Amino acid sequence: SGVTALARVDGGLAAASVDGDVVVVDDKGVERWRCAVGRGLVSLSATKTALVAASSLDHLVVVLPLDARGLPDCAAASSARFRGPLFRAIARDASGAGGAGAVDVYASGVEDKDLDRSEGGFRNIDSFLFALRFTRAGGLVRRFDHPL
């Protein structure tokens, strides 16, 4: 397995492996936290309140809230599943009305419908931008899929 993505959190440096583990190490390289998130991790994105991972093979975006030490809380994770692989996800702490404590996630991927292999070819292979909002209390509260 190899490292596929890196992100900085207050608790240290987060690294994702293709096998699906996210590990946080401190400045001396000592492991402080580990959690299995999803196979084929392709990106990590950190905000002040959360670490977000995108899994290409499991077709998932996983939002891990950060605890008081700046380490992800695996038990409080929220996720969204997609019908096709993801290429990348970025996150930001939400602002404005209704944004307090929420994380906005923007992901790119393909296939918002199941892949159609009928008639000897492939259909439903389209690129999409996905916009999601997660709250600590409610998980995924909003999703918008936009074809590119």
DSSP codes of every residue in 42-86: EEEEE-SSEEEEEETTTTEEEEEEB-TTS-B-GGG-EEEE-SS-E
Residue with tokens 């602002």: 95
Q: Which contiguous run of DSSP H or E holds residue 130?
A: strand 127-135
- Running DSSP on this structure, what letter comes out for residue 118? G
Regarding predicted confidence, which is higher, 47 or 99? 47
Please report where in the chains the tokens 């389209």 appear, as a residue. Answer: 126
Average pLDDT over every residue of 8-24: 92
Phi, psi at residue 118, to the nearest 5°?
A: -75, 165
Task: Look at residue 2 and tell me whether its pLDDT is greater than 90.
Answer: no
Q: Is 113 helix (H, G, I), strand (E, B) or coil?
A: coil
> Which pTM does this prediction carry?
0.88
Q: What is the mean pLDDT of the chain?
A: 89
Write down the residue that tokens 């998130």 correspond to: 37
- Above 90 in pLDDT, residue 111? no
